[in-house]
Amino acid sequence: MKKKAVSALARAAVLLSVLSIGGVRAQSAVTLNFYSGGDVNVQDLWANNLIPMYKKVAPNVTINLVWSEHGAADQATFDRLAAAKKAGKVSGVDLWESGMVQQAGEAGMMAKIAASDVSNLSKVPPTIIQQVGSYGLPYRGSSVVLAYNSKEVSSPPRSLPELFDWIKKNPGKFTYNTPDTGGSGHAFVERVLMSGLPQDQIKTFQTEYKPEMVSAFDKGLATLKELDASMYQNGFHPKGNVGTLQLLAKGNIRMGTVWSDMALSYLAQNLLPPEIKLVQLEPPFSGGAAFLGVAADSPNKAQAMAFLNWLLTPEVQAVVINKMNGYPGVDWKYVPTETRTKFADIAKSYSIGFQERFGADINKLWYEKIAGTPMPASK
Amino acid sequence: MKNSWREALIGLCLAALPVAAMFVLVVLPAFEGLRFSLGYVPGDNPAYSTGSHLVTSSTPTLEVYRTLLSSPFVQADLRLTLTVTLFTVLLILLVGYSLALLVRFGPGRLGAAVRSLYLIPMFVPVVIAAYAFITLYGSRGWLDALLHHVGIGYRSPIYGIPGIVMGLVWSHLPFATLLLGSGLDALPEEQVEAARDSGAGFLSILWRIILPLNLTPTMIVAAFSGISVLGSYTVPALLGPNAPQMVGVAMEQYFGAYRQPQGAVALAMITFALAAAIGALYVWGISRTRRHG
């Protein structure tokens, strides 16, 4: 999620029209430079759905989408914000959709988003916002679920212990992707680690960061290592969320963790055979939100916040869910009933992943303790 | 006299631009990186200062390097990198030489075919090539399916060290063959003819005439592909095992996945030192050849 291309800072023009969205009154035409990135489906959502929709509600706000495939320019946008801050100039970035909003926020480059600016924020589960230190607004989400081949597996596991049991009884038929290359693998790793933590500490791991707490993961890591011997090719992990989906499609594995939105889209495009079914465990795998932040130096903060508020309205959330086969940014109860019924199978909450810095530490621990430690039973 | 001064000045001015650009874009960041890896955390560079597990010190410290190098995980990465570099360079030389010899001395048609085929990898982006390797040699890939039909078992090498070496050899071959081939083209035909006339076999001609006379291109190929393989990213990121990893991949992981920019920068410095060592070997080799040649 990022982009780089420079966009013209065409703001100016004073139209004395009055518009009011979400209680904000803007008096002049403004252009919001919106830096975003992701896969083509996200680009399509913004360019062909949301931005044209917003033009109708707020005709004098122009949203200039600066797109970067797969967020490959995130670091460049970060550097641009940092350079502007250092030089005391305006970066030209108004809105930024990225996994890096918290990191940028901690460096003083993103504005905190409060319910006083974005009234619909109250509809968002607070822990999700705390996860990024209030520097980003979750406007859509997705959850990791278990995908299985219903021709080979008649009764899929419904809980973590059942899943462990299945993996051990069906060696070579399960895998997850490396945790740093895709959230579906990361969610499996975090779910297993979470199962080894004292229950009363889990919230701390989700919202705070204390480096010394990392040792609490040892129990979960031991479980992961033990499971690894029974995984696909004695512990080979594909790269990226797509890697797991491809192994499922080719029949190399019978079960794996996937993002619900990706799997549903793949099924719709016949990239996965119809016998692949999805199921959520109890307690659920973690999900994640896509976060949108407002640059601290944006001269158009009020308009940017108004745009964020509009994104959380029920009609917009319904479009997001339908387009992305995903989860809303707001709690499901604020989603129109029709949409909720359509996605009844997955319209449940997801659990929250660990705080981002723990996530980074977990990636490293995984490479050191799981992939990087030889296994007696391995090839 | 005046004119030559002016020409020199113009020349210097022209050269100053790229040198200045390199200084600003490469030397300065590298210097800041070196300082960062020694414990000076620049507060005004959030890409560095927001990292996890930073070592901060007001005097230079080797703490970052100590932690990195004492980790068995990083040691395994470095071992893998050196092994892959060594084997890849040897294979590149072996295969590159064979192809170049075929082009130079091979029978007409074969030589011509090789001449047009060996350049292909140069025009195929590495990412595409890596995915082609996976499709072709991967588990349940084409080769697997083919062998399965004739009843031969198959274990895909693609997600092991051989996978990385295969990908890297493939992508470096055109450059190596081109350079070795141009060296062979420059060989004096008479010497080879004379040796042949006095009854020398192909192998002894190769060993006694061709290889010694073609030493400089050989060293260039070895050094340049060595440095390029050492820091390669795309092929080992897509092929090869989950762990250990080549340093190029490890560096990116430290920076992105682990959020430890200091470790990434220190790994870059270590890689730079290794590449400099290869470069030094090359300069030493070249100067020796010059003296003896």
| pLDDT, tens digit, 9 for 90 and up, residues B236-273 | 999 988 889 999 999 999 998 899 999 999 999 999 99
Which phi and psi (to 5°) does residue B190 adopt? -60, -40
- DSSP label of A201: G
Do B48 and B186 sit in the same domain of this protein? no
Q: What is the pLDDT of residue A53?
A: 96
> Which chain B residues are closer than 8 Å to A82 by Cβ?
45-47
**Is B103 part of any domain?**
yes
Overall size of chain B counted in residues: 293
- Look at residues A172, A155, A146, A178 and name the one whose alpha carbon lies nearest to residue A252: A172
pLDDT greater than 60 at residue B293: no
Asked if B54 and B253 count as a contact pair (C-beta separation under 8 A), the reply is no
**Among A79, A106, A178, beta carbon nearest to B242:** A178
Does B207 lie in the same domain as B130? yes
> What pLDDT band is residue A17 in, cutting at 50, 70 and 90?
very low
Tell me what the mean pLDDT of segment B281-291 comes to. Answer: 85
Indicate whether B52 and B175 sit together in one domain.
no
Q: Which residue of A75, A209, A210, A368 is the best one to mutate when testing the B interface, meaning the one whose CB has the most B CBs within 10 A?
A: A368
Instruction: Please tell me the distance from the alpha carbon of residue B209 to that of residue B139, in angstroms, as a whole number.
Output: 45
Residue of chain A minimizing CA distance to B75: A372
Look at residue A13 in the predicted model and tell me its pLDDT: 32
* A245 Cα distance to chain centroid: 18
In this structure, the answer to whether residues B44 and B154 fall within a common structural domain is no
Residues B145 and B120 in one domain: yes
pLDDT of B1 > 60? The answer is no
Rounded mean pLDDT of A63-92? 90
Sign of CA dihedral B275, B277, B278, B283: positive
Indicate if B81 and B53 belong to the same structural domain: no
Domain count, chain B: 2
**Are B95 and B51 part of one and the same domain?**
no
What is the span of the domain harbouring residue B147? 71-292
Contacts of B244 in chain A (CB under 8 A): 372
Nearest-neighbour CA in chain B from A14: distance (Å): 36
Q: Which of B21, B37, B60 is the last residue of a domain?
A: B60
Instruction: Please indicate, yes or no, if residue B66 is contained in any of the structural domains.
Output: no
CATH number reported for the structural domain that contains residue B274 in this entry: 1.10.3720.10
Residue A218's CB is within 10 A of a number of other CB atoms, namely 13
Nearest to B243 among A251, A356, A371 (CB): A371
> Residue A57, exposed/middle/buried by CB under 10 A (0-12, 13-18, 19+)?
middle
Specify whether B76 is located in the same domain as B132. Answer: yes
Cβ–Cβ under 8 Å, residues A138 and A129: yes
Residue from the list B242, B245, B259 with its beta carbon closest to the beta carbon of A360 = B259
Contact A86 B238 (CB under 8 A): no
Q: Is B228 a domain residue?
A: yes
> Is there a contact between A372 and B76 if contact means CB atoms under 8 Å apart?
yes
Which residue ranges form the domains of chain A, and what is each CATH number?
Answer: 19-135+289-346 (3.40.190.10), 142-285+353-371 (3.40.190.10)
Whether B94 and B5 map to the same domain: the answer is no
Q: Mark residue B32 as left, alpha or beta (left: phi above 0; alpha: psi -120 to 50; beta: remaining).
A: alpha
Q: What's the pLDDT score for residue A375?
A: 57
Report, as an integer, the average pLDDT of A205-228.
91
pLDDT of residue B2: 63
Q: Domain check: are B149 and B247 in the same one? A: yes
For A247-297, what is each residue's pLDDT tens digit?
Answer: 999 899 999 999 988 898 899 889 999 999 988 888 889 888 899 999 999
**Average model confidence (pLDDT) across chain B:** 90
Residue-wise pLDDT for A348-377, tens only, equals 778 888 888 899 999 999 999 999 876 554
Domain boundary among B12, B31, B60: B60
Q: What is the mean pLDDT of residues B145-168?
A: 89
Same domain, yes or no, for B28 and B137?
A: no
Average pLDDT value for chain A: 86
Q: What is the mean pLDDT of residues A295-317?
A: 95
Name every chain A residue with its beta carbon within 8 A of the beta carbon of B46.
Answer: 78, 82, 103-104, 107, 109
Nearest 10 degrees: Cα torsion A291, A297, A302, A305: 0
**B175 shares a domain with B145:** yes
Task: Decide if B65 is inside a domain.
Answer: no
pLDDT of residue B198: 87
- Region A216-233: what's the mean pLDDT? 94
User: What pLDDT, on a 0 to 100 scale, did the predictor assign at position A365?
Assistant: 94
Cβ contact A179:A363 at 8 Å: yes
Q: For residue B242, which residues of chain A lie inside 8 Å, CB to CB?
A: 178, 235-237, 367, 371-372
DSSP of B195-248: HHHTT--HHHHIIIIIHHHTHHHHHHHHHHHHHHHHT--HHHHHSS-SSS--HH
Contact across the interface for B243 and A79, Cβ inside 8 Å: no
What integer pLDDT is reported at residue A295 of this predicted model?
A: 96
Helix (H) or strand (E) holding A113, with range, is none
Place of tokens 């190399």: A252
Separation CA A104–CA A77 (nearest Å): 10
Mutate to test the interface with A, among B242, B246, B255 (most CBs of A within 10 A): B242
Task: Quote the pLDDT of residue A68.
Answer: 87
B139 lies in some domain: yes
Q: From CA B248, how far away is CA B126, in angstroms rounded?
A: 15
pLDDT tens per residue across span B40-82: 999 888 888 888 899 999 899 999 999 999 999 999 999 999 9
Count each helix (H run) and each strand (E run) in chain A, helices first. Answer: 15, 12
In a domain, B39, yes or no: yes
> Is B225 part of a structural domain of the chain?
yes
Distance of CA A288 to the CA centre of its chain: 4
